[in-house]
Structure 1
Amino acid sequence: MAYLVLGLFICVMAARTIQDDGKRSSIKTNSSPGAIPKTFMGRMRKLNRTNQLLYPSTSPSLLVDPEDAAAHYITGILSTRAIPSLYILAMLVGIPSNTYILGFLKNKTKSFSTAILYLNLALSDLLLLLSLALRVHYHFNQNDWAFGEISCRLVTAFFYGNVYCSAQTIACISLKRYLAVVRPFLYRRLAKTTLTIWACLVVWMLFGAAVVPELLVRQSYTVPRLGVTTCHDVLPLEEKSHSMLASLRLLMVCLGFIVPFLICIYAHVSVVYHLGQSGRDWRPFIRVSTLVFIIFGVCFFPSSILQIAHYSCLFSNGDDRLYGYYRLAACLCCFHSCLDPFLCILISKTATSELQFISLNGTRRRPTAT
């Protein structure tokens, strides 16, 4: 992890030099009729487009009306004080706790397949929280990105990719508990370690699918009227390089949250029902499972719904006022990364009850199965 942070630091320092050159070159651009941004309304100021994707140091500009929602968000207290303060709180709690959970898994988790899932979750949470450091500076700096186009792409990609990665890993953990409680015979026959490794590989493949589109398109644009360079907050949707980004983002919302959320609902309801029918007292197990499900829904559901609603309003009537609320709701995803380590500890304490249920359930049903 130390090498990862060191490499990111070197990359940011190099990219900052590139951004300074880009700011100087953007002053010489001429205004022209432009496009609808993905997030806020504005007009594009185009360069002599040799190839902006090949030369990210040339920073194009967007014209934003000072009375628009974009200007209110960029200059308002929500983005310059509230959101970065929440990010700092998430980092202070989440980074130490996720680091601790890595050692906890090594010593306390008896099931190797379970340890793999928790390790996958802790790793994605750490990457998400570490990516917030530059965004904190960005928001406190009046939403003026000072670290270059390359680092802006990396931070944006890591944020969205790891949010989806965390949600999908939680769904895998819920599915594993569903099989252990509701399908104990099938669970015993499965090659759990192999299946868990394949599940984690699929999760990281979806992570790549979420990251690649963000890395391929420009994320930082200068807003001359406000005197800032935004990172991801204002993007030209009608530009050829960005035309498919909104559709891909909606697809990732479905694959990264809607599908995992439906899996968690089905798994939780099935587990609680079968535990209630077992004739024994499984209240601690049920309470922990319910807590995990509620926290998952509270942290991920608002941002996903607001993201879908934002795109719907933007495409239907050009209304972009929901974007600020979506960015605030996205902070809840970061707090889920803080709570995951504590949930892992609680779940590990009920692992004995889970194994006991599997044993009793299997013993009771074995004569009828044969």
Structure 2
Amino acid sequence: MPRRPVAALAMDAGTADAVLKPPARQQLGELTELAGPVLTDFGTAEARHVLSTVELLVTGWGCPPLDAAVLARAPELRAVVHTAGSVRGHLTPACWARGIEVSTAAAANAVPVAEYTLAMILLANKQVLPAAHAYRQRRARGELLLTDPLLGNHRNTVGILSASLIGRRVIALLRAHELRVLLYDPYVDEAEAAALGAVSAGLAELFAASDVVSVHTPLLPATRGLVSAELLALLRDGGTLINTARGAVVDQEALTAEVRGGRLRAVLDVTEPEVLPPGHPLWACENALITPHLAGSQGNELDRLAETALQEVRRWAAGEGFAHAVPPDGKELLA
């Protein structure tokens, strides 16, 4: 029987309980020699003892940074399996310099985000937010037959900002609907966009032509404030901006002005900061739907993260390599 690699969990304790429930924890124990408690602080004596022999870290939300000092105390560490999406919060350049193999459950976490986005696109085109507000105010039905040519999901235009894992999945889900899909991504050419099911478009063109724009770009120095006041001004009256990526990708002050003025609508699962302060005007905007970073894995969707991580541990322990490896040159593009 092959030797099981020594592994440890490194994440917030609550995250470990939520994501790696007892059955998953048992499977992990069968695949590896699971050492010690959940590591929430790499500086404790107990953590130092575990790190001295660990070969694999299974990480999650709340994992402390794996910097050079921590790695020096983990001479046997060869791989990290992350049970969530982005690894930018806890993996440092020292990890890549050491050649540590990295896997992420970003593909699994993309599933519920894309589902949330699809739902919001369809509801936005149906103008559910203003209709529900008007219905609540009147407590009576309005016109039985609405003839606004911009209302509905028949051949309206959806703009997707970035062909990220989530952006690509949203485009795939939109294939089942009679919607025109535009894509802006400087790394994707016209042929690849067409293969995905979208039409390649410039940034200004996408905003000017879309009824709904959905943001899926990672937050990088080059994308901070990418959705500017000038681009928002191009979005048609009554258009909707959906953001499930990062709040700072959008000029929030400009968006707030457009939404408060009643010209645009917004569905924001992320804001800058998270959470918005109590007096922020977006809270009182009838044209804004703000959700608490709900799009990502929640509830039973967390089981998908555990299943993905366990599959990766199984592959790595068998010497097969990761199915969802994060290459060193791709780490900066992760949200």
TM (normalized to structure 1)?
Answer: 0.23
TM (normalized to structure 2)?
Answer: 0.25
Work out which structure has the larger RCO, using CA pairs closer than 8 Å and 6 or more positions apart in sequence: 1
Higher fraction of helix: 1
